[in-house]
Amino acid sequence: MITIVNSNNIHQFGPEMEQVYKLRNQVFVQEKGWANLARPDNREIDQFDNADAVHMLCLIDGNLVGYQRMLPTTKPYLLSSVYPQLCEDELPNDSTTWEWTRYAVLKEHRARGRILSPVANHLLSAIVEWGLQNNITSVVIEMQPLWLLRLVQLHFRVFPLGIAQVIDGEEVLAVQAFFDARTLSRLQEVRGNSVPSITQISSMVG
């Protein structure tokens, strides 16, 4: 389901990464209307799509249906460089904490009635699987406070980093969410199986 693309293997994923930029354009520029991200070539790429970024692609038969990007907090990241006002405490800056950004699911794969969709579940599970393998214990999220309960119910231990503010007409709260093996069990319980979500499509990946 989920393939991890980083600077080591990105050269093998040219066509898939093109789908990424297209999906991001569709979700963030067209649907959400974040006009400042719009580019003439209709690919949504920003300064954080650099060698440190870890891209997580949810592919079904080679087609991209979901995506998210992880950024290390030891380098400049969205919260530290674009939205520092959302953080009242010290900005997270350590190798065990990464920022979760650009979460996007193709319209057809979003669940009805706002239930956690299978694609959403796999994307979240992939963060936890990847984290457990790489000594990463928490993610920084800029999120709508509306979804706090859901994260807590999934056994993320969520801590606000500041107070919620309205940005581009949407309420945004910066949080740090810690996870562990219990979080993964919970996600697996919710989706009804414990199949690993990360299924690398290339064996070349180190």
Partner 1 sequence: MKLQETYDMVLRFAICQTEEQVSQIALKEASRFGVDYYFAGTIPPEDSTPTQQLEHVIGGSWPSGWGERYFKHNYLRTDPTIEHVRSNNSPLIWKNLEKSPRFRNVVMDEARDFGLNHGITIPQFSLDGVKIGISFAGQNMDIADPKLQTSLTVIGAYTVSSILRVLQRNYRSEIINLTEREREVLYWISEGKTSRDISAILSIAKPTVEKHFTTLQHKLCAQNRTHAVAEAMRRGLLR
| Interface positions with partner 1 (CB under 8 A) | 89, 109, 111-118, 144-154, 157-160, 162-164, 171, 173, 176, 190-193
Least separation in angstroms between CB 201 and partner 1: 19
φ, ψ at 192 (rounded to 5°): 85, 10
- Give CA–CA dist 122/185, Å, rounded: 12
User: Of 19 and 176, which has the nearer Cβ to partner 1?
Assistant: 176
Q: C-beta of 18: minimal distance to partner 1 in Å?
A: 25
Closest distance to partner 1 from the beta carbon of 206 (Å):
29
Distances (CA, A) of 135 to 130, 151, 179: 9, 20, 11
DSSP single-letter state for residue 28: I
Residue 15 CB contacts under 8 Å (≥ 6 apart), including other chains:
none
Q: Which residues contact 41 (CB under 8 A, 6 or more apart)?
A: none
Q: Is 14 or 169 the residue whose CB approaches partner 1 more closely?
A: 169
Rank residues 98 and 156 by Cβ distance to partner 1 and give the closer one.
156
CB of 178 to partner 1, least distance (A): 9
